[in-house]
Amino acid sequence: MKKFFFALILYLIILPSSYSCDLLSVNIGGDRSGFSNIFGPFNTGLNNEAGVELEEEEYEILETTSDAFCKDIDLGEVLVYGYLVDGLIAGLQIEVQNYDNDKESKEGLLRSYVQNKYGPIDINDDKWKGYRTWNFGKKEIFYYYVKLNEGGISEGVYVTSPKYFALIGSDEIDE
């Protein structure tokens, strides 16, 4: 009996941390309630006034800090965005907040996280296109690190599916 309770306690301690900051645990195509553990509870039946309509579909972009999704991992100054299309989870993005000096991207915390979880990235390679993708079943991980023409660096990672890939990565639904 003691072994059972010990195993149960160990399970309850390990399980939540194993899902912390795991992009592949995001239920793409699932109901919006799957985001409640990251963005808080939703008022069902209410329209999001911040949503932008495109082609008669309702798009919503949710925003929170990294500690709501990545409790045990220091990613530096990042924001987490949740994308909903018609109330279904379309993707989740972690975006570095560089401000004026690109300090956060230079530290490489998000890049290290992505390399450890999904595979190598060499942003200094002459063949670097500005992004890298990985496919995991019906999910896609998209990492980007782009030096902008006007100066600065845009860096982030998101998870989505082929169905929502073009929508999440486009500027059309950005706020």
Digit-coded pLDDT (tens) for 60-106: 899 998 888 888 889 988 999 999 998 899 999 999 998 777 888 88
Residue 23 lies in domain: 2-173
End-to-end CA, the chain:
54
CA 93 to chain centre: 3
Domain count, the chain: 1
Q: Is the pLDDT of residue 160 over 60?
A: yes
Model pTM? 0.77
Q: How far is CA 87 from CA 35, 47, 48, 172, in A?
A: 11, 10, 10, 18
